[in-house]
Each structure stands twice: as structure tokens, then as C-alpha cells.
Structure 1
């Protein structure tokens, strides 16, 4: 039974990583509280769904444009210093959003500008930040560290929006953004306690070859190639969030309470899977775990698409959320262990780009397919296509199934 529970050794045995984890967890919670505030502000000021949708673009565009730049920078300078500089910039920009909300200065261009620039600094820092865990924990504890990182996000996703809604209703959205800015101090606390994080020296010549070295490493390493294809299939072909409102109207009466349950069910499944991730994080076959979990993600969402009873639909989403957590943990382990430190910034930048943009593309695909055919067809066809792709990966890329982490027996 004990082997099923999440592996807490990194928190017990690595004080520097423990400070980093608690600081990052606090910052994640604050960020999700702030996200609710920004969404509320945009809706209150405009009453336009188009403008609310454009807010997502303001966040996504810098991520797409700059995350690969961040990967190159992370492989050339002290990663700790890079994250500290970007974190201070995010604190100032978030404080600017809080002041704008407190003054009720209804300038959408200003708000979007602050959001976009903050997202740009987050994207630049993301590849460097993701190298901290493998460098601090080493191969033996890396899977446990990745699982703990995932549960930190799941806890924030489960609690942050609800807390933000309560604070916004009781004291106003400016307080949500002020709390968001303050929680960045937790992130600073964690990063300040780290040693210097300079990348391993590399004899690569500067220029375009250096820029694409991360992509070349992924393409020539079969297990990494399979991990990236698995993630793209699971997000682009199956992501269901854009179809939630339509499913709610068609099958469950269209109540907003029911719509909220859909997202909560995914988060509950993710938290439970994280708490019981001990065996999977200790697995000597993370590639096999990744493939099985991705298949369970697709099957859970297929069940959601076929269900016409609410509890069955929520069960399908919870299964999908749990499977997604295990798949993300296993894939993160593979990506970090199969990448030399001199390339880690650029490869993790690609991983972050896929993870950040794949769900958005998947949601666009779902809405587009539903508009051309029907909502039920969009719900069922995506998981079926994903399962087919996963079958091809398992068949044509046996290195994924057989992958054993370095140092495993």
C-alpha cells in the first residue's frame, strides 16, 4: 500500500528543492487566483466574448514566439539568474495589473499589454526553471520530483479559481491581483536558495545550427520522438474543453453549476492520481506507463463523449484527469533523462511549447469538427483517432515501450 502513495523523498532529503517546490506551489496558486481576476475584469469592462477570447491569444502569442528563445538563453547563462530577473519583472507587471484594477482604469490595450509582457517573461524563464528539478535531484529521484511538480499544479487548478472567485466577490479583483503579486515572493524565496545553475559547457558554434540543436536531438532520439508524438496526439486530437458548453446544453440542461463540475472532475482525478503516483514514478518502464496512461486519457474522454448520465460523464472526466497526470509525469521523466544538460534548455523549451500550445490547438480542432459535423461526432472521433496514433507509436517505436531510465536495474 505504501508503494502506491506519492514518493515524498525529494521533499524530505533535498532542502533546496523543498524550498523551490513550496515557493512554486504558492506562486502557482496565486497565478490561478489572478487569472480569475483578469477574466472577470475583461468581461465586466467589455461584455464581449470575443475580447475575452482575445485574452487567451495575448497570453499564448508570447509563449509561441519566445519560449524557444528562452531555451537558447537557458543553455548559455546561469539559469538561476535568468529566472530571478524574469520573476522580478513578473512581480512588477502583476502589481501594475493590481493598480489598474484598483483605479478601475478601463483600458483594454493597457491590460492586454501588461498580460502579454508578463507572459513573455514567463516564457523566457520556463525552460530554465524546468531544468532545476533534474539538476537538483539527479536521475534516481527525478520521477518523484516530476510527480510532485504535477500535483502542485493540480492543487492550484483545483483550489485557485474557487479562492479567486470568493476573494473577488468579497473584496474585489484588485485584491486577487495583489495576492498574485505577493505569491511571486514565494517563487523568489525558492530560487534564491539555489546554487548557481550554469549549463554544462558545450563546443557548439553559435548560429542557426545551435538554435535547432534541440529539435535535432529530439528527432534523432526515438524515445523522445515517441514522447512528443504521444503528447501531440493526446492534446490535439482529444482536448475536450471547447465542447464542454455544448455538451452541457445538449445533455445536462445547460446549468453553469454543471459546467463548473466538468473542470473540477478533471482536476479531482489529477490530484488523486498524483497522490497515488508512487508506483508509477518508481516504474522502470516510464515509456510504457506513458503510453498506457495516454490511452486511458483517450478512453476516459470517449466515455465522457458517450455518457448521457451526469455521474458517468464526470467519472469519464476524472479518469481522464488521472491518466493525464500519469502521462505528463512519465513524459517529463523521459524528456529530462534523455537530454544532456548542455541541450536541456532548448529541449525543455520544445516540451513546454508542445504542452502549452497543444491543448489550444486541440480545443480549436474540437470546435471546428463539431461545427462541420456534430458535437457527438467530435467527442468520439478524437479519442478514436488518438488511440490509433498511440497504437502506431507502440508498434513502430519499440524504444518507447522498452525504455529504461539510466541506472535502473
Structure 2
């Protein structure tokens, strides 16, 4: 009994004393909460706006491809630069640029001047900014999430992010239904400014930086190869990167292109229902994140991660066969829970296995491998869906996700990763 009470007290301390134990954790968490709140609203509004302007799933795929293209092209270089520069300053500058972009988008929408050309340009610049922000943010998080708080810190962070996936889509759906898309873009812009104030509290962080100067000949090539060498030493990392370069083609196409079409066009629900369905994914992720964070250690993490991917694929597989909103939400709940389980294990493994001075370039390679084919995937999803049918594409892609995750679990490196 005494042992059980001790474990419970330890868990309570891990969860509820984090904010006192690490002021940097608090600043990083709340900064991202506000930033992601706006983004989650935009994620609901953007596909609705594109469908209204173009009436085409192929065009939605093109928009997402335009966003991902600079992200993918710049990741190898951006990760190296992140290792050589102040990561917090990078995050600050990027949030400032994203604020102006969203204000421009809101202004165009308010004036009725928003068209596909403007969307392409703004999304291209947003992708460029994200190619620097994501490696920097991951490196800062790895620095702040020290070993003694790592499981709980990652869980709380992800639970907070997923909570935004509940409220953000609902707010976005209500805004589109009751007001206009312009208001949603404006709210997104304001959240970036709020995020900047929290980032100021992270200025005192110091990082181990690469000793190779930017001017040295072949420096970028050498740094790139060093990142690859780190990945080669851990089979879990490189297998997961290669696997998700395939999985993300199919899951990204479903989430970004086919689900908006399914809810808004095929079932002809109101935008607020689209928000509710996406929110169910966030609810599933929160439940999974809380459960995961209650334990300091999990066994067979490699298998657990890919079981999560398989569950996510199964949740998506049944969505085209039900028109009931509660059932659609149940299946998205499973999708969110499965991907949260995988995401937590993947994030923690990077923080455990990658040296701090190489973290930016390694996480960039991780993102590059996982997301490199997303622009192609978005384009293919839109065009394939219009060619052979959206429902058939939806089902086929879901089955492929399940099959890939099951096959990977037969690999010894995955099964033995702990």
C-alpha cells in the first residue's frame, strides 16, 4: 500500500510540479498553445475556402503541395543552420513573419480579393518559414525536456496540443458558419503575437553549437553527412523515417484532402460538423497522451508505436461507410489516439538518442524523410480521387496504412526497440 501511494505521489509531482520545476517549460508550452490555437482554426477554414473558390479536391492537393515544397527542399539546410544559430531567435523571427502573412490573408479575405494565386503565394512562404521553425522548436524542446521530466513534459505538451485540436476546429467551424473565414485568419495572426511574448522568456537558454563555421568549404555537406551518420547508428530511427515517407503520403492525403471532401461535400454537413469530427481526433490523442504520461517507462516501445499507426489506419478505413456524426467522431478518436501513441514514442526516442549539438540537422533529416513525398502525395491524392473516385481512394489509402504498419512490426529492429 505504501509503495502504491509513493508511486501516486511521484506521478502527481511529475505532472503538477512541472511548471514550478522548469520556467522554460512553462514559457515554451504556453507560447505554442497560443500559436497552435490559431493554426488549428486555420486548418479548418483553409480547406473550406479552397473548396469554395475552386470546387476541386485536386486544387486542395495543389495548395498543400505548394506549402510542403519549400518545407521539404529547405529542411537539409535549415537544420544545419539551426545547429549554428540561436534557436529561440529563429522561432521569434518566424512567428513574426507568420503574423504578417496571416494578417495579409485576413485583409484579402475581408476585402473579397482572396483568390487561388494569393493562397499559393502565402502558403509557399508559410512552408518556407516552417522549414526553419520546426527544427528550431524541436531542438529547444529537447533542451528543455530534461531526462527527469521527459515523459511527463512530452505528454503534457502533446495533450495541450491535442486539446487545441478539439477547440480549434470547433471555433473554426463556428467562425465560418456564423461570420467569415477572414475572422479566423485574423485570430490566427493575433495568436502569433501572443506567442512572441512567451518566447521572450526563453532568451536565457544556451545551446551546444556545432564548431564547424559556415564559411568552411564543404561545411554544409559535412554537417549533412554527420546527421545521416547519427541516424544510421539507430535502426529504429532510419526505419521509421523510411516507413513514414510512405505512410505520410496516404495519411496526409486522407486528413488534408479526402476528409474535408467527405464531410463537406459527400455527406453535405455544415462546417461546424467538420470541426467536431476533427476535434474527436484531438480527444483521442488527449486520452492516449494522459495514459502514456502516467508511466515513467514503457516496454516494447517499437511495437507500441506501430500498433498505434495500425489503429489509426483502421479508424480512417471505416469513415466512408458511415454517415452518423457520432460514429465518424468515434473513428477519428481512434485515429487521433493511434497517432498520438506513435508521435510520443518517436519524439522521446529522438530526445534520448540524438546529441544536442547535432539535434537540429538530425530532426531536419527526420522531417525530410517523413515529409519529402508529401507534396507528391497531396497532388496524387487530389488527382487520383477525381480520376477513380474519392471513396475508393479513401479506402485504398487506409488499407495501405494498416498493411505498412503491420509489415514493419516484423522487423527485428522495431520489435526490439525499447
Tell me the TM-score normalised to structure 1 length.
0.81
Equivalent residue for 1:16, pick from 17, 20, 24:
24
Is this contact kept in 1: 2:58–2:381, CA < 8 A?
no
Measure, in 2, the Cα distance between the counterparts of 1:46 and 1:363. 16
The residue aligned with 1:407 is none
1:51 and 1:202 map into 2 onto residues whose CA distance is 45
User: CA distance change for structure 1 residues 43 and 245 in 2, over 3 Å: closer, same or farther?
Assistant: closer
Q: Find the aligned partners of 2:102 and 2:327 in 1 and give their Cα distance.
A: 40
Pair 297,51 (structure 1): closer, same or farther in 2 beyond 3 Å: closer
Which residue of structure 1 aligns with residue 226 of structure 2?
Answer: 213
Alpha-carbon distance change, 292 to 153 in structure 1, aligned in 2, over 3 angstroms: same
Q: Select 1:333's aligned residue among 348, 351, 354.
A: 348
Is 1:190 equivalent to 2:198 in the alignment? yes
Superposed displacement of residue 188, structure 1: 1.1
| d(CA) in 1 for partners of 2:311, 2:283 | 16
Question: Cα 1:389–1:305, aligned 2, differ >3 Å: closer, same or farther?
Answer: farther
User: Hey, what does 1:71 align to over in structure 2?
Assistant: 79
1:223 aligns with 2:232: no
Cα displacement string for residues 143-164 of structure 1 (whole angstroms, at most 9, x for unaligned residues): 3222223223322222212212
Please give the alpha-carbon distance, in whole angstroms, between the structure 2 residues aligned to 1:178 and 1:353. Answer: 30
1:120 is the counterpart of 2:125: no
Report matched runs for 1:290-309 at 5 Å: 290-301=305-316, 304=318
- DSSP 3-state at the match of 1:200: coil
Q: Flag the 1:298–1:8 CA change in 2: closer, same or farther, 3 A.
A: farther
Is 1:289 aligned to residue 304 of structure 2? Answer: yes
Count of residues paired in the alignment: 397
SS at match of 1:212: helix
1:9 Cα deviation from its structure 2 partner = 4.6
What are the equivalent positions in structure 2 for 1:66-105 lying under 5 Å apart?
A: 66-105=74-113
Partner of 1:120: helix, strand, or coil? Answer: helix
Specify the alignment match of 2:403 in structure 1: 385
Structure 1 residues 10-409: aligned runs within 5 Å: 10-194=18-202, 195-202=204-211, 206-232=219-245, 234-236=247-249, 240-241=254-255, 244=259, 254-256=267-269, 262-279=277-294, 282-283=297-298, 285-301=300-316, 304=318, 314-356=329-371, 368=384, 371=388, 374=392, 378=396, 381-393=399-411, 395=412, 397=413, 400-404=414-418
> Measured at CA, do residues 8 and 334 of structure 1 come closer, stay the same or move farther in structure 2, by a change above 3 Å?
farther
| Cα distance between partner residues in 2 of 1:35 and 1:150 | 18
Query: Is residue 68–residue 350 contact of structure 1 (8 Å, CA) maintained in 2?
Result: yes
Q: Partner of 2:410: helix, strand, or coil? A: helix
Q: Distance in 2 between matches of 1:309 and 1:291?
A: 28
Report how far residue 173 of structure 1 moved.
Answer: 2.8
Cα deviations by residue, 1:26-66 (Å, 9 ceiling, x for unpaired): 11011222344444444444555544433212211121122
Q: Is the 8 A contact 2:250 2:397 kept in 1?
A: no
Q: In structure 1, how many angstroms separate the alpha carbons of the residues matched to 2:392 and 2:126?
A: 38
Unmatched runs of 5 consecutive residues or more in structure 1? 405-409
